[in-house]
Amino acid sequence: MNVLVVGGAGYIGSHCVRQLAAAGHRPVVIDNLVFGHRRAVAPGVPFYDVNLGEETAVGSVLEEERIELVMHFAAYAYVGESVHEPLKYYFNNVVATLGLLRAMRAKGVGKFVFSSTCATYGIPEKMPLVETMPQAPINPYGQTKLDVENALKALARAHGLSFAAFRYFNAAGAAEDGAIGEDHDPETHLIPLAIDAATGRRPPLQVFGTDYPTPDGTCLRDYVHVDDLSRAHIAVFGQLEKPGAALFYNLGTGTPTSVREVINAVEKVTGKKVPRTEAPRRAGDPPALYADASKARRELGWAVKFNTIESIIGTAWKWHSAHPEGFGR
Ligand code: UDP
């Protein structure tokens, strides 16, 4: 299929582009390079430096490239910033996405795969999280993703749009060959920060909160490999043949891993100590978030290849040790 990957130069999008090509599809990328990296996209992949909200420009790409399905990864994703700058988040994540959906409707493109998040659940009452549990985001970032999920439901009902919304848990790791990986500016994620603390590129890691009601007092998260996430996006294609399909899937390994366990795994994989300090809790961090991803396994035949935290961190280490400056700026 001809697949438009919106945000294809970003972390998850760029891994998906490679997986699409490996699976015999034809990815086409649009990215405004605000957070994406041109070098994350292979030279042979058609690339357009376009804002997703620019309906006319996006419409031309849809038409010229004969796009059959759109995957949408482009979003602002800093939870803390979303609290302080909600307009930025609502404009980019909701309003611009509606522009993209309008362009698709105008050009008759009826299949859509959307990056959603476990942040749409807010602070869950029960764990692991199942797709049917209540969604009550506690920050504008999570709310913008939920708003788009709701818009998609309405479009499926009204116009027969077929879509899948994937609620990611903690995306981590890098391509197995070490060619692309995670490069955020600013970086806020645990694994790259722990690796950079180990190599001395950054200051000691701050462990945010050691008094959570968890076995070792630190937060539990569900780290899932970025290539495993990407494979689910392709595994869903068959389900989108049915007009009006409205599908929601959690994507996680189902294994809760604490911050201390991540640090231990980074030490094991790198053979280096992770200098660290204990710090207060970070605002807005739920104590535990992990997935029940049995729906994706059952309906999509999805299975994770990277099922230990060490195997995930092993790929991240390969990327970071070969590219300490990321893609370069
Ligand atoms: N974390 C930490 N120190 C850091 C960054 C993150 O202790 O410098 C913790 C954070 O509180 C959370 C977990 O690591 O419990 C994962 O955080 P991350 O930002 O990677 O992902 P999130 O779960 O917020 O999406």
88 and 202 part of one domain: no
Closest C-alpha residue for ligand 1 atom 12:
219
| Residue whose entry in the numeric block shows the structure tokens 């299929």 | 1
- 90 part of a folded domain: yes
Whole-number Å distance, alpha carbon 282 to ligand 1 midpoint, is 8
Closest C-alpha residue for ligand 1 atom 11:
208
Q: What is the pLDDT of residues 1-56, one digit of tens each?
A: 999 999 999 999 999 999 999 999 999 999 999 999 999 999 999 999 999 999 99
Query: Are residues 76 and 92 in contact, defined by beta-carbon separation less than 8 angstroms?
Result: yes
Q: State the total domains in the chain.
A: 2
Closest C-alpha residue for ligand 1 atom 20:
189
Closest C-alpha residue for ligand 1 atom 16:
190
- 288 part of a folded domain: yes
Whole-number Å distance, alpha carbon 146 to ligand 1 midpoint, is 22
> Which atom of ligand 1 has the smallest separation from the CA of 218?
15
Residues noted as catalytic = 141
- 129 part of a folded domain: yes
From 231, 251, 271, the end of a domain falls on 251
- 181 part of a folded domain: no
CATH code of 143's domain:
3.40.50.720
67: left (phi over 0), alpha (psi -120 to 50) or beta: beta
> Which atom of ligand 1 has the smallest separation from the CA of 219?
15
- 179 part of a folded domain: no
51 and 135 part of one domain: yes
Cβ neighbours of residue 253 closer than 8 Å, sequence gap 6 or more: 169, 222, 223, 224, 228, 291, 293, 304, 306, 307
Closest C-alpha residue for ligand 1 atom 19:
189
Helix (H) or strand (E) holding 56: helix 55-64
> Residue 246's domain spans which residues?
2-172+223-251
pLDDT beyond 70 at 329: no
pLDDT grade, residue 283 (50/70/90)? confident
According to the model, what pLDDT value does residue 77 have?
A: 95
- 183 part of a folded domain: no
According to the model, what pLDDT value does residue 290 have?
A: 97
Whole-number Å distance, alpha carbon 188 to ligand 1 midpoint, is 7
Residues touching ligand 1 (Cβ under 6 Å) are: 170, 188-190, 193, 205-208, 219, 221, 259, 282, 285
**Is residue 64 packed enough to be buried (19+ CB in 10 Å), middle (13-18) or exposed (0-12)?**
exposed
Count of CB atoms within 10 A of residue 52's CB? 25
**Is residue 74 packed enough to be buried (19+ CB in 10 Å), middle (13-18) or exposed (0-12)?**
buried
Query: Are residues 292 and 124 in contact, defined by beta-carbon separation less than 8 angstroms?
Result: no
Whole-number Å distance, alpha carbon 220 to ligand 1 midpoint, is 9
Whole-number Å distance, alpha carbon 45 to ligand 1 midpoint, is 33
Its pTM stands at 0.97
